[in-house]
Amino acid sequence: MSDTSSSALTWNEFCLLLDRSWCEHSRSTAAERLPQRLLTAARSLFESDFRKQQLEAWCLKLSGLRELCICLADEHEQAGCARGVIDPGQVVVQFPERPGAMLPICWNATVSLAAGEYEHPSVFETMPREMAACLTTFPASTDLAYASPRVSEWPMGKTILVTALVQSVDPIPEDDPLRMRGLTRVHIIADGLQATECSDRDVFRLALPLSEHRGACVDLWARKVESPERGIIVTGQTDLLSLDEWKPLTRVVGMARSSVDLAVYRSVSPADDVYSCGMLLLHALLGADEPRWIRACQLLPSIAEALQPAVQGLGEDDHYVVHLRIKERIRESTDCFEAGGGIPESLWWDAVVAIFRACSHIRGFSDALDTVTYDPSPARRLARALESLARRARIELFEAEKRDAMMVRACDRALDRCAMGVS
């Protein structure tokens, strides 16, 4: 991502400035991107307290990610489209032209989304315009560690072999009486292709063989119209056909063809963007420990998929029970989500709960399901969770000592009253 100004960093570079556990060389490399007037300003309220610096960094990351989710929700609701993947390079952290006198520079930073960089694959030139309009592409340089499995496991145009049963073919006349298109309905069956995982905005390119042997095929652009018990049913138009091509096509109605090439073009949804925000939150939580981050990326999808029995049936207000059950279930699988980095354990695990709400699709628990509306955006729910976490982090940062002292005094008074026999 190119700089939006001389006072802007990417999200990862901003985190380098915050995470004192990173090597000074890496932090200074990111700092070189900042103007000198910002480099001379203070970066932390707690320059001499390492533990407080860690908590301060976490507080600022939470606030920044909340801003990001609000920007994303505005984009969903106003533009009615999703990005599919949001990696750190798409997140811009901007600093004011003149640092404030009261707060360090990192406390004055603002977070926003960079303008989308969309590629236009050549296959879109032959795809019907109304179908291509529903698809979102992104640069090859996008970091797919932040992508949902639905996006990362289904790259645009992924080809699989399917069994295709042609149910009907109806002619669509053209101006040229010697040429026509066919409105075709096909039942497609393949391992790993589930109707519930396909959207009616997804696009399929089917190469229908005209005989049992490999040879001439008729190409079909289609979309899902029904969800049978097995496979999916799609409907679409063939390319323009001559009469010599049309006749063999009508003869395959009612016949099944195996090993048929199917190219899949998955549409993206706000749920995919919310997943990316959950992964950004996870990386912010784990900080500089890259091996731990890589391991967590590998384990998270399977853990999220297995969470449903632990959270099903719980109300939205059952925060404590959700906290305990998710902590227990995750600890059964791995230790790479354990608390650390100077963050109180309860706050850490509530952040982990927020991550799994963003990165799962469990009704009544998750921020977003596979099929969600753009307005209201599910990113707003995650933004509210981040706001709550950031508020608690600020309490720990600025008020914990006063709170703890008050609790100690209250306990001392209670013990004194017990010693005197006062109930």
pLDDT at 1: 33
- How far apart are the C-alpha atoms of 32 and 354, rounded to whole Å? 34
Check if the beta carbon of residue 237 is closer than 8 Å to that of residue 338.
no
- Which pair of tokens denotes residue 188? 């497609």
Please name which of 266, 15, 229 lies closest in space to residue 138, comparing C-alpha atoms.
266
Q: Is the Cβ–Cβ distance between 274 and 382 less than 8 Å?
A: yes
Which of 199, 203, 235, 210 lies closest to 373, judged by CA? 199
Q: Which mean pLDDT values do the consecutive 10-residue runs of the chain (423 residues) have?
A: 58 82 55 62 76 90 97 94 93 81 82 78 77 86 94 92 95 88 95 86 92 78 94 94 89 92 93 97 91 95 94 84 94 91 91 96 87 86 96 86 62 69 58
Residue ranges and CATH numbers for the domains of the chain are 8-119+271-402 (1.10.510), 157-265 (2.40.30)
How does 289-326 read in b/e, with b if 16+ C-beta sit within 10 Å?
beebbebbbeebbebbeebeebbeeeeeeeeeebeebb
Residue 159: strand pairing partners: 263
Which residues are CB-neighbours of 163 under 8 A, at least 6 positions away?
A: 188, 189, 190, 256, 257, 258, 259, 260
Please tell me the distance from the alpha carbon of residue 118 to that of residue 123, in angstroms, as a whole number: 14
Q: How far apart are CA 97 and CA 89, in angstroms?
A: 22
The answer to pTM > 0.75 is yes
The three-class DSSP label of residue 205 is strand
Task: Give the pLDDT score at 2.
Answer: 35
Quote the CA–CA distance of 128 and 356 in Å, as a whole number.
37
Per-residue pLDDT, 3: 38
pLDDT of residue 95: 85
Annotate 277-294 with DSSP letters as a single string.
Answer: HHHHHHHHHHTT-HHHHH
| Per-residue confidence (pLDDT) for residue 323, from 0 to 100 | 93
pLDDT (0 to 100) of residue 65: 98
Per-residue model confidence (pLDDT) at position 244: 87
* Distance separating alpha carbons of residues 243 and 22, to the nearest angstrom: 69
